[in-house]
Structure 1
Amino acid sequence: MSQTGSPDLPEAVPGAGPATTAGYSAAEWRLLTRLPGRVIVAATTAGPDNPVRAVTEGLAGLDGIAAGRAFDSELVRAVVAAIYAESDDGRSAPTRAEHADAGQADLLAACGSAVRALTRCADPADSAAYRQWVQSVAARVCRAAGPDGRPRPFGDPVDPEQRRFLDRLGEALGLRPAG
């Protein structure tokens, strides 16, 4: 996939890392690096409330983020590197209740903002790879555990709430037509 920035311009987003950040504002880069984590939280809130399930799903989401290191996209690899490079800034992750109160509308709006930034700054292949990777993170979360928290058997369908979430996320990421 082509490079989305010049190696001579690493300062395009101060402290953001690789040249693939060129062209993105600091806010856009932050959006791209935080969106996968927000998707994990939203996906875990899309199913039944079960602490064991939430842990299983959260770990599956982290595994999905880590899988981005092997993507054939400089952008996805740069985002994963930035996620791992972020230092703990003392803020805690939102709780399930806080996220449910905020609703999925904010996340879906953030996906739309990310798609616009990608359209403006990334080549089409990197844009598609990033959007598919974010969707794959959500899919891993939703497929990780059944309602009882145990690992979901291969091929077992996800819960209807999670299916609706995945469909809406796919629409917001421009991966499927709006239904």
Structure 2
Amino acid sequence: MTEQPVYLTLGFSDEEWGLLTGLPLAVLTAASAAEPDGTRRTLAEGAAGLEAVAAGRDGGSPLVAAVAQEVVSRAGDPETGEELPPINPGDPEAYLGDVLDRAGAAAALLRAKVDEGEAGAYGHWVVSIAEQVVSAAPSGGMLGIGGHLVTEPERRFRDALAKAFHD
């Protein structure tokens, strides 16, 4: 007998699981794209984001652990030295809006399908990914000195993302 995919045992359809597993990397990309950066900063953001994604495997939420495991199996495991190549959306503002829309859809899905604790754990994890990305390296300054750890556009994205999961 063939074992069912984990998302079916958790009660999600293919499309719903795609939304939940696609959002973490989309958030990583959007948080990085919220502020135009140089290559060094973008690589640091990607590494920090992938570590935050992978950390979800070790949390107390079965849903977050399953999503994180799926994402890491697709994107690479930072514990083995794998890194995401930088992704630069052509229209960052449109991409941020799309990611926030998907976050709202994921939040609504989770409110309908899982208990409050699991929904909260997923939302907290996704927001923590954005937080790790925007805090990975300062913007501005000279030779990495000075500048802002989290810029206003990054802060707005992170806060809008958190709001999507708390409405």
**Where does residue 26 of structure 2 map in the other structure?**
38
- CA distance in 2 between partners of 1:84 and 1:137 (Å): 13
Q: What is the letter of the counterpart of residue 54 of structure 2?
A: A
- CA distance in 2 between partners of 1:101 and 1:159 (Å): 15
CA apart distance, 1:17: 2.5
Q: What is the letter of the counterpart of residue 62 of structure 1?
A: L
Distance 1:86 1:144, change over 3 A: closer
Q: What CA deviation, in whole Å up to 9, does each residue of 1:84-110 have, x standing for no partner?
A: 33389xxx9884142516331111110
Please state if 1:121 is matched with 2:113: yes
Please state if 1:160 is matched with 2:152: yes
* Residues 43, 86 of structure 2: 8 Å contact kept: no
Q: What is the letter of the counterpart of residue 69 of structure 2?
A: A
Q: Secondary structure in 1 aligned to 2:6?
A: coil
Q: Count residues with an aligned counterpart.
A: 156
**Where does residue 56 of structure 1 map in the other structure?**
44
Distance 1:83 1:139, change over 3 A: same
**Where does residue 135 of structure 2 map in the other structure?**
143
**Where does residue 73 of structure 1 map in the other structure?**
61
What is the aligned counterpart of 1:169 among 157, 161, 164?
Answer: 161
TM-score (norm 1): 0.76
- Structure 2: runs of 5+ lacking an equivalent: 77-83
- CA distance in 1 between partners of 2:30 and 2:75 (Å): 22
Distance 1:67 1:38, change over 3 A: same
Q: What is the letter of the counterpart of residue 39 of structure 2?
A: P
CA apart distance, 1:139: 0.1
**Where does residue 130 of structure 1 map in the other structure?**
122
Q: What is the letter of the counterpart of residue 39 of structure 1?
A: V
- CA distance in 2 between partners of 1:170 and 1:107 (Å): 12
Pick which of 140-149 and 54-63 moved more.
140-149
Distance 1:150 1:140, change over 3 A: farther
- Structure 1: runs of 5+ lacking an equivalent: 1-9
Q: What CA deviation, in whole Å up to 9, does each residue of 1:96-136 have, x standing for no partner?
A: 14251633111111001101111111111111000000000
* Residues 28, 129 of structure 2: 8 Å contact kept: yes
The CA RMSD over aligned residues, in Å, is 2.8
* Residues 89, 95 of structure 2: 8 Å contact kept: no
- CA distance in 2 between partners of 1:74 and 1:83 (Å): 14
